[in-house]
Amino acid sequence: MTDLFTFGEAMALFMSSDTDSVKTAIKYEMSAAGAEGNVAVAARRLGLDVYFQTKLGNDHLGDNVAHQFAHEGFETGHFLRVENYTGALVRNRGVSEPLDVTYLRRCSAGSTFAPADIDVAKLEKSRWLHVTGITAALSDSARDAVAFAMEIARTNSVGISFDLNIRRKLWSPEKASKTLRELVHNVDLITGGVDEYELVFGGKTPAENFELAASKNIKTLIMTAGPEKMRVMHLGEYFEFEPEIVKIVDPVGSGDAFISGTICGLLAGLDIHAAIKQGSKCGAMVAATMGDWAGMVSGKNGILPAEVWS
C-alpha cells in the first residue's frame, strides 16, 4: 500500500545566480520545483512510500525535471508527457532584493490535468492524498481533477490534506475563494495562512474562520503566520504552536516541507502536537537553505532522526 499519493505540476525553476534581480541577471541555476513535488520529495526522504503524478512536456526541460525526481528515487515511468510545454518559473534568490517570481505555466503541460489522468487504482490503495489550491488554479480541468481525486479518497477512506496555497498571480481572489470553498470539505487536514483562510471562508477574524471551516467537517485546521505562532484546531480543541525559528535563507518550499513533515508524522502515529512539531522542524530546515528541498534531511518510517529532535 502506498503511504502518500499526490499530484500536480512539476516545473523547471530558473533562479538568478549572478545578481539578486531578474532584471539584471544573466546567469541562472536550474532545478525542479512545484508544491506537490516538494511535499512528495520531503515525504520520501522521511522514508515513506510516495506516489507522485505529474504532467510534463515532450521537451528537454521535461526530461530534466523527470531526471531530478528519478535522482530522488521516484519511479517516473508514469509521468505523463504531452505536447504542451513543460511549466517553468523564473525567480531571484530574494536575499538583497524582494523575492520576485514569474510563472510560465499558462497552457503548460500541468494545466492539462483532468480527472482521467488520476491513477485511481493507485489512489484507492493509498493511505493519504495531498492536494493544493495551486493545481485547482491552473485550469478548470485541473480543478476537476482535484475534486475527482478527493472524492475517490473519501469513498475509499483515504486521508486527505489540502494546502490552500493561494497563488494570486494564477487566478483572481473571487475565483479562488469560490473554488476553494467548494472543494474544501470533509477532509482530515487543511493548512493556510491567516489571509488565505480569510479569503476562502470569509470571516473577519481567525477564530471566526476556524468556526466556518470546522463546520465543513474538517478535522484539523492549521493557520500559519510566517515566523509567528500557528493557530491549530484539532477535533474541536484549540491550541497554539510556536514554529521553529531559524535564519531564513530561502522561504520558498518551507511551507511544503512543513505540511509534508506533519502528514508523515500523523501517518507514523504521532499525535497532532508532535506531528506539527516535526513539520515545523522540516520547514525550518528548508527555509535555512537555498532551494525548494535542498535542506530536507532523511528519516525513517516517516520520522526525523533522533538527533534532529534534540
**Residues carrying an active site annotation:** 256
User: Euclidean distance between the first and final Cα of the chain, in Å?
Assistant: 32
220 Cα distance to chain centroid: 17
- Return the half-sphere exposure (C-beta side, CA atoms, 13 A cut-off) of residue 103: 18
CB 128 within 8 A of CB 3: yes
Q: How far is CA 305 from the centre of its chain?
A: 22
**C-alpha pair distances (Å), 230 with each of 35, 194, 282:** 20, 9, 15
Q: Is 172 helix (H, G, I), strand (E, B) or coil?
A: coil
Cα gap 41→27, rounded to integer Å: 26
- Residue that has been written with the C-alpha cell 509534508 in this structure: 260
Are 39 and 283 in contact, with CB atoms under 8 Å apart?
A: no
Using CA of residue 58, residue 255, residue 89, residue 179, what is the dihedral sign?
A: positive
Exposure string (b/e) for 202-219, b if CB count within 10 Å is 16 or more? Answer: eeeebeebbebbbeeebb
- Give the integer Cα–Cα distance in Å for 215 and 200: 14
